Amino acid sequence: MGLFSAPEFKVGLLVLIVSGIIAGMSIKVSNDPAGLGSSKRAHFFMDDASGLVKNSNVRMAGIPVGTIQDIKLENGMARVEVVLKGDTPMTKSARVEIRPNGILGDKFVEIIGGDVRDPPLVSGDQIMVVDDRASVDRLIGEISKITKSIAQVADNIKAATEGDKEKPLGRIVDNIEKLTTDLATLSAERKDDISEIVLNLRETTDTINELVTDESPEGFKAAWKDALRSLKKIEASLDNVEQITGKINRGEGTIGKLVNDPETAEELNTAIAGINNLLDTSNKLQTSFDYHSNIMANTGEAKSYLNLRLQPGVDRYYEIGIVDDASGSRERLTTTSTTGGVQTTTVEERRFQDRVRFTGLFAKNFYDLTVKGGIMESSGGVGLDYYLLRRRLRLSVETFDFGNIQVRASARLNLWSGLYLTAGGEDLASKTGGSTAFIGGGLFLTNDDLKLLLTRLPF
């Protein structure tokens, strides 16, 4: 007990407590040099950091919100690191303005918080926009340029007045002097001509005076009176226009109702909007023509296609066309007979000469896959298209004529500016060996291609 009550112990304990408080405060300040509470750090780059002092205040709206922690050289530029209070409102669009602090060349950093709709600026980020408005050197440099320009102008004026013809202003003064000399010479040599010109001008003014003072029925005064009467008629017409506009403003008549009745105006706006939508849709409609011809391997005959595609949007299109098949169409007849208890099946294939057939399809696009269906070669059918190689290669499978199933598989490779090659097989579901391979080519023209062709035609 004596030890704890001794004065030396009490003094030592007090020293330890005070030292602990000082150490805690030092650690707190070193961790948060901007002040009490949390802090965040940021940095920015400048070409010239002269006038900025380490540990000086950083302000926002004139209020200190932090300090300059360090100024150092990095990649030939001044890197200024600042420590700010944690609650300082700053976003990614924040900027720095270097402003003068008196007339002795000192500067301070002013933070502009940025647009509140932008993401917040986190600790350690760079402030990208720096506006150095406090550069006295820059101002002095600009003033020096102005004074130099004024001195050059003064030198030019002096040289011009002294007759220096090597400079533009001297040449202008010399040209003016020559012009005045030529005018003096001309007036002296052409004195009689100038007197004649003056006499003609006098005669012209006398003639104008006679026309103005003529009081005959066909004279100027009578014509002037007729013009005044016409002006009165115009005033009467304007009065009528005023009456009509007054009726319109009061909502009288059809036009008045159109202008003043909100319901009528709304109906008119709806009608106009519908017309605009219709015209806009027609403008967006893409039209293209497709012609290609295939050579059949088994017969050596050609089968040609001419199609018109109407595409109101990127996700769908309509296609109509005609097909010219040199081999005509075919029909299979299956006959089953029983002889002596033995059943015999006979398949007969007939060919018809209906060379021309029609196509009408609706297609729906799903990214690189297209599903289509409708009329194929004058019979019902469906098909699938799949695009590869950035839509340069198209693989297709089509089936139609479900009473006598026809299956066609093909590949189409775009070569250049609408030209393409095709290859594949037809009638692949044939059980009688009627299937055949084919190869061919074609041309695909869009709206832009047709416009270009029309502009190139020699009309």
Higher pLDDT, 22 or 282: 22
Rounded Cα gap, residues 15 and 18, in angstroms: 5
On whether the CB atoms of residues 86 and 35 are closer than 8 A, the answer is no
On whether the CB atoms of residues 424 and 437 are closer than 8 A, the answer is yes
For residue 259, what pLDDT band results from cuts at 50, 70 and 90?
low
Higher pLDDT, 154 or 109: 109
| 285-456 CATH fold | Porin (2.40.160)
Rounded Cα gap, residues 395 and 413, in angstroms: 9
Rounded Cα gap, residues 177 and 373, in angstroms: 90
On whether the CB atoms of residues 336 and 344 are closer than 8 A, the answer is yes
Q: What is the pLDDT of residue 354?
A: 58
Q: Are strands 356-366 and 316-325 parallel, antiparallel or unpaired?
A: antiparallel
| Residue owning tokens 């291609």 | 449
How is the chain split into domains, by residue range?
Answer: 36-134, 285-456
Give me the chain's average pLDDT, please: 80
Q: What percent of the chain has pLDDT over 70?
A: 78
Helices (H), 190-261: 191-213, 220-249, 253-260
For residue 105, what pLDDT band results from cuts at 50, 70 and 90?
low
Between the alpha carbon of residue 81 and those of residues 52, 91, 215, 367, 431, the distances in Å are: 11, 17, 93, 51, 84
Rounded Cα gap, residues 223 and 386, in angstroms: 84
pTM of the model: 0.38
> Is the predicted pLDDT of residue 29 greater than 50, yes or no?
no
Q: What is the pLDDT of residue 448?
A: 76
Span 63-74, average pLDDT: 92
Report DSSP letters for 298-346, one per residue: TT--EEEEEEEEEEEETTEEEEEEEEEETT-EEEEEEEEEEETTEEEEE
Q: What is the pLDDT of residue 281?
A: 54
Q: Which of 90, 102, 92, 15 shows the shortest CA–CA distance to 53? A: 102
Residue 225's CB is within 10 A of a number of other CB atoms, namely 10
> Is the predicted pLDDT of residue 69 greater than 80, yes or no?
yes
For residue 36, what pLDDT band results from cuts at 50, 70 and 90?
very low
Report DSSP letters for 77-110, one per residue: EEEEEEEEETT---BTT-EEEEEE-SSSS-EEEE
For residue 30, what pLDDT band results from cuts at 50, 70 and 90?
very low
Q: What is the pLDDT of residue 81?
A: 93
Higher pLDDT, 255 or 5: 255
Higher pLDDT, 327 or 383: 383
Question: Residue 51: which H helix or E strand, with range?
Answer: none
Q: What percent of the chain has pLDDT over 90?
A: 22
For residue 258, what pLDDT band results from cuts at 50, 70 and 90?
low
Q: What is the pLDDT of residue 31?
A: 46
